[in-house]
Amino acid sequence: MYPLSPPALYAHASVVADPRYKARLERVAAGLTHAPELVVCEDADVPALIKDRGLLANRVPMGSLQTIPDPILFFNTFRFDDGAEQRSASLRAQCGADSYHLAEALTGGGPFHWFTEDTSRGDRFCRPCWRIHFQNGCAHKCHYCGLGGLLVTMVNVEDYIAQLGRLIAAHPWQETYLLEDDADVLCLEPELGCLAPIIEYFGTLPDRYLIIHTKSANVDWMLNLRHNGKTIVVWSICGPEQARAFEPNTGSTEERVEAARKAQQAGYVVRYKFKPIIPVRGWEADAARAVELILARTRPDVISLCVFMWMDFDDMAARLNLGALDPWAVERARAAAKEMGELRCRPFPDDVRARIYEVHLAEIRKRDAAVPVSLSTESASLWRLLGPRLGATPLNYVCGCGPNATPGRRTLTCNPYTITAGGPVGGFERL
What is the tens place of the pLDDT at every residue in 275-310? 999 999 999 999 999 999 999 999 999 999 999 999
261 band by pLDDT with thresholds 50, 70 and 90: very high
- The predicted structure's pLDDT at residue 100: 72
Query: Which residue did the predictor score with more confidence, 395 or 259?
Result: 259
The answer for residues whose C-beta is within 8 angstroms of residue 82's C-beta and 6 or more apart is none
Beta bridge partners of 38: 9
Torsions phi, psi for 272 (to 5 deg): -130, 145
- The predicted structure's pLDDT at residue 175: 96
Beta bridge partners of 271: 234
427 band by pLDDT with thresholds 50, 70 and 90: very low
- The predicted structure's pLDDT at residue 96: 65
The pairing of strands 112-115 and 129-132 is: antiparallel
Query: Does the structure show a pLDDT above 70 at 256?
Result: yes
- The predicted structure's pLDDT at residue 97: 59
In the chain, what are the domains? 9-390 (3.80.30.30)
> Which secondary-structure segment (H or E) carries 75?
strand 72-76
What is the per-residue pLDDT across 103-146, written as a single tens digit (0 to 9) for each? Answer: 999 999 999 999 987 777 788 899 999 999 999 999 999 999 99
Give the count of alpha carbons within 13 A of 33, CB side only.
8
- The predicted structure's pLDDT at residue 211: 98
The residue-averaged pLDDT of 370-397 equals: 96
Average pLDDT of the chain is 94
What is the per-residue pLDDT across 202-239, written as a single tens digit (0 to 9) for each? Answer: 999 999 999 999 999 999 999 999 999 999 999 999 99
In whole angstroms, what is the distance from residue 288 CA to residue 296 CA? 12
The residue-averaged pLDDT of 16-20 equals: 98
Query: Which residue did the predictor score with more confidence, 418 or 167?
Result: 167
- The predicted structure's pLDDT at residue 31: 98
Do residues 130 and 114 make contact, with C-beta atoms less than 8 angstroms apart?
A: yes
What is the per-residue pLDDT across 152-180, written as a single tens digit (0 to 9) for each? Answer: 999 999 999 999 999 999 999 999 999 99
Q: What percent of the chain is predicted at pLDDT more than 70?
A: 97
Tell me if the bond preceding 347 is cis, omega within 30° of 0: yes
- The predicted structure's pLDDT at residue 428: 35
- The predicted structure's pLDDT at residue 279: 98
Q: Cβ-count burial of 163 within 10 angstroms (0-12 exposed, 13-18 middle, 19+ buried)? A: middle
In whole angstroms, what is the distance from residue 49 CA to residue 44 CA? 10
Do residues 71 and 139 make contact, with C-beta atoms less than 8 angstroms apart?
A: yes
Alpha helix ranges (H) inside 32-141: 46-53, 84-95, 100-106
- The predicted structure's pLDDT at residue 357: 98
Q: What share of the chain is helix, strand, coil (3-state, %, to 5)?
A: 40, 15, 45
Query: Which residue did the predictor score with more confidence, 115 or 29?
Result: 29
- The predicted structure's pLDDT at residue 430: 31
Least confident of 196-205, 320-329, 393-402: 393-402
In whole angstroms, what is the distance from residue 344 CA to residue 121 CA? 10
The residue-averaged pLDDT of 5-30 equals: 98
- The predicted structure's pLDDT at residue 123: 87
What is the per-residue pLDDT across 315-361, written as a single tens digit (0 to 9) for each? Answer: 999 999 999 999 999 999 999 999 999 999 999 999 999 999 999 99
In whole angstroms, what is the distance from residue 183 CA to residue 138 CA? 5
The residue-averaged pLDDT of 91-102 equals: 79
- The predicted structure's pLDDT at residue 424: 45
